[in-house]
Amino acid sequence: MTSKLTTWIARGLLLVSPIGFLDATYLTLKHYAGQTVGCTITQGCEIVTTSSYSVFYGIPVALFGVLYYLLIVLLMIAYVDRKQENVIRLACWITPVGFVASLYFVGIQAFVLQAWCQYCIGSAITSTLLFLLGMTYLATHKRSN
């Protein structure tokens, strides 16, 4: 069953996940280039992106973001390809992971670092959008089989 709502949710996921992917990729590239990220909107990009919270066991957290968004992107392409409900369902079930991670990082920026990095906020917005889309899908599509 592909209702109108499903189509819109799929389009939403397909549109938002590449944005998150590019955002995280940008931060990861900057990290490995050893460059500080300049802020144009917020203040404190260099504080956030060079803080100890930006690295997890030597791996930049942005790289986890890249993998997370890439997974969603791939699942959504697979969904467009095969139109299998299980695939979009799986993508939706993954979205809370990104959402919880974003909550954590927003918390770090707000309460620990008290500095904001626009690219990190961008990622928080995209992961929240993915989460909302995912939850809407799951709420409206109870497993029928």
Partner 1 sequence: MKNSTKKSLYLWGGSFLALGLLVWGLARMSGGYNSGTFNAVPLDLTSAAEFEHVKGPMDAGVTIVEYSDFQCPYCKQAVPVVEQILAEYPDTVNLIYRHYPLRQAHAQTQLAAEVSEAAGRQGKFWEMHDVLFANQEKWSGNLGARSIFEAYAEALELDVALFKTDLQDRALAEKVQHDYESGNDAGVRGTPTFFINGVKLKVPSYAGFVEAINTELDRLEEVRESTINAGESGSNPETVGTDAPTAE
Residues that bind partner 1 (CB under 8 A): 18, 21-22, 25-26, 29-36, 46-47, 50-52, 54-55, 73, 77, 80-82, 113-115
Least distance in Å: CB of 135 to partner 1? 25
Least distance in Å: CB of 4 to partner 1? 22
List, as one string, the DSSP characters of 73-130: HHHHHHHHHH--HHHHHHHHHHHHHHHHHHHHHHHIIIIII----HHHHHHHHHHHHH
Q: State the Cα angle at 64 between 41 and 100, rounded to 5°.
A: 75
Nearest to 140 by CA among 79, 88, 103: 88
Q: Which two tokens stand for residue 11?
A: 């389009």
Q: Which C-beta is closer to partner 1: that of 64 or that of 136?
A: 64
Least distance in Å: CB of 67 to partner 1? 13
Least distance in Å: CB of 69 to partner 1? 10
Residue with tokens 């938002």: 16
Q: Which C-beta is closer to partner 1: that of 55 or that of 138?
A: 55
Helices 118-140 & 61-82, crossing angle to 10 degrees?
Answer: 40
CA gap 25, 85 in Å, rounded: 29
Least distance in Å: CB of 61 to partner 1? 12
Q: Which C-beta is closer to partner 1: that of 113 or that of 121?
A: 113
Q: Which two tokens stand for residue 40?
A: 């144009």
Q: Which C-beta is closer to partner 1: that of 32 or that of 140?
A: 32
Q: Which C-beta is closer to partner 1: that of 35 or that of 140?
A: 35
